Amino acid sequence: GDSVTQMEGPVTLSEEAFLTINCTYTATGYPSLFWYVQYPGEGLQLLLKATKADDKGSNKGFEATYRKETTSFHLEKGSVQVSDSAVYFCALSDLGDYKLSFGAGTTVTVRA
């Protein structure tokens, strides 16, 4: 079945540091890939997505590229802010199947 493996946390960074969260997946079909973020006290929000190989999703300074050859969708941000402190979830959805398969989540804390 489909599965997502993401880097375990927690991750603690200083402001303006570079952030990478690794995500790899296993899927039977040709999935769409997503990064969701959960800020403290809020629901999950879609951060970015990519639907085909070599697509790059980007939002709020975050980027992730759909790498079919390595089955990866790593999340990166060049300069994090305190407001980026959150739990980040990598997820996939197989073609024609609307349910999401999530990774375990990575807690990121950014210190001023």
Partner 1 sequence: EAGVTQFPSHSVIEKGQTVTLRCDPISGHDNLYWYRRVMGKEIKFLLHFVKESKQDESGMPNNRFLAERTGGTYSTLKVQPAELEDSGVYFCASSRPSQPYGYTFGSGTRLTVV
Nearer of residues 17 and 55 to partner 1, judged by Cβ: 55
Nearer of residues 72 and 107 to partner 1, judged by Cβ: 107
Nearer of residues 42 and 69 to partner 1, judged by Cβ: 42
Part of the chain binding partner 1 (CB under 8 A), chosen from 19-27, 54-62, 67-75, 101-109: 101-109
Query: If binding is defined by CB under 8 A, does position 93 make contact with partner 1?
Result: yes
Using only C-alpha atoms, the chain has a radius of gyration, in whole angstroms, of: 13
Query: If binding is defined by CB under 8 A, does position 89 make contact with partner 1?
Result: yes
